[in-house]
Amino acid sequence: MTEYKLALVGFGGVNRALAQLIAERNESWKSELGFTLKIVGVTDLFLGSVIRREGLDAGLLASLPAVKGALAQVPGGDGEAFNESVIKHCGADIVVEATFTNPVDGEPATSFCRWALEGGKHVVTTNKGPIALHGAELKELARRNNVAFEYEGSVMSGTPVIRLAKQSLAGSSMVGFEGILNGTSNFVLTRMEGGLGFAEAVSEAQAQGYAEADPTADVEGHDVRLKVVILANELLDAKLTVSDVSCSGISSLSLDDIESARRDGARWKLIGAATRHADGSVSASVGPRLLNNDHPLAGISGATNAVSFTTGLLGAVTVSGPGAGRTETAFALLSDIINLHQSVAHN
């Protein structure tokens, strides 16, 4: 039985949900997936850090209070976050990076990924920053060190998008995609269709936990733009940077716009899209778009996300599912580990 030793970097909701899954399901994964997981290190800027090569109690970790320095309560733990020590020296096979997204330079997550890959450790991450801003460099680093670097959860949490496109749709001649890639803005648009004004709808999204205190990144398209960069580079072999993607949000849409769309049998959606042109160049954009009701993305309501791939051999293929959520995003990390297990087992 293969056992992978994990270092959890960032211990917010997502890695905590992963610890909970490990506590509940490790035994059943033996037969179902062919491996088990053991947490040997955890580090978090707020909670502190701990290393235990014999393995930490996943259930205990999952139930730690979210208070400053809480990892000091674990035997051998410390209230300080020794990120570099945990990543480099806890004996992990896989570094599970789930810290916050920094849209400016991707730090400190990018350094965490670099340390791990340079040390010959696999990396799985849900973090958009390192992939959108430094994806090519990190993939090359993984290749040189002969380790896996997987990031399904960077787009649409655990809903399969990157692997669906790269594995199941290989050979289909993909030429573009359009997506509803931000649950907050789609929730806001759906509530505006129910008659709420923009500001009221944002307040409701905040009350329900969809939107941050500062909703700018969600409603102005900045979050979607990072995902468009990731998908375009991954699926269309583009070499886009964030500044290559034009970006506008939904804050300029009025109730009149939305009602007038309804009368015309259409809906406004915030769409992130990219297209590969005949000369091989790729153009990409984020902005509100009026979709007729028969468009594959027109029926996607509330916080659900979806991507419609345009392929030469199949036409449009669309996948929809959750775009966020702790357990949903933790599943993305699990699916990354399943995928690396299959590659490693085969090599």
Residues annotated in the binding site for L-homoserine, as ranges? 212
Among 167, 246, 260, 292, binds a second copy (CB under 8 A): 167
* Residue 327 in contact with a second copy, rule: CB under 8 A: yes
Closer by beta carbon to a second copy, 251 or else 335: 335
Q: Which stretch binds a second copy (CB under 8 A): 109-117, 157-165, 211-219, 221-229?
A: 157-165
Closer by beta carbon to a second copy, 172 or else 206: 172
Report the distance separating Cα 187 and Cα 129, nearest Å. 24
For 290-328, b where at least 16 C-beta lie within 10 A, e where not — what string?
ebeeebbbbebeebbbbbbbbbeeeeebbbbebbbbbbb
Least CB distance to a second copy at residue 336 (A): 11
Contact 202, 215 (CB under 8 A): yes
**Cβ atoms < 10 Å from Cβ of 235:** 23
Annotated binding site: 128, 212
* Residue 192 in contact with a second copy, rule: CB under 8 A: no
* Residue 29 in contact with a second copy, rule: CB under 8 A: yes
Total residues contacting a second copy by CB under 8 A comes to 44
Least CB distance to a second copy at residue 162 (A): 9
Out of 38, 121, 227, 269, which one is annotated catalytic? 227
3-state secondary structure 92-125: CCEEEECCCCCCCCCCCHHHHHHHHHHCCCEEEE
Dihedral sign of CA atoms 36, 234, 241, 154 in order: negative
Q: Using alpha carbons, list the distances in angstroms from residue 128 to 74, 188, 258, 278, 294.
A: 30, 22, 31, 29, 31
* Residue 164 in contact with a second copy, rule: CB under 8 A: yes
Q: Which stretch binds a second copy (CB under 8 A): 26-34, 127-135, 221-229, 269-277?
A: 26-34
**At CB < 8 A and 24+ separation, what contacts does 15-18 make?**
15/42, 15/96, 15/98, 15/330, 15/333, 16/61, 16/62, 16/326, 17/62, 17/326, 17/327, 17/329, 17/330, 18/96, 18/98, 18/330, 18/333, 18/334
* Residue 242 in contact with a second copy, rule: CB under 8 A: no
| Interface pattern 294-323 for a second copy (x via CB under 8 A) | x-x-xx-xx-x--------xxxxxxxxxx-
Examine the residue annotation and report whether 139 is marked as an active-site residue of this protein: no
Among 23, 169, 196, 255, binds a second copy (CB under 8 A): 169
Closer by beta carbon to a second copy, 263 or else 346: 346
Report the distance separating Cα 331 and Cα 325, nearest Å. 10
Least CB distance to a second copy at residue 84 (A): 31
Query: Which positions are catalytic?
Result: 227
Site residues (CB under 8 A) for a second copy? 21, 29, 32-33, 157-160, 163-164, 167-172, 293-294, 296, 298-299, 301-302, 304, 313-322, 327-328, 330-331, 334-335, 338, 343, 346-347
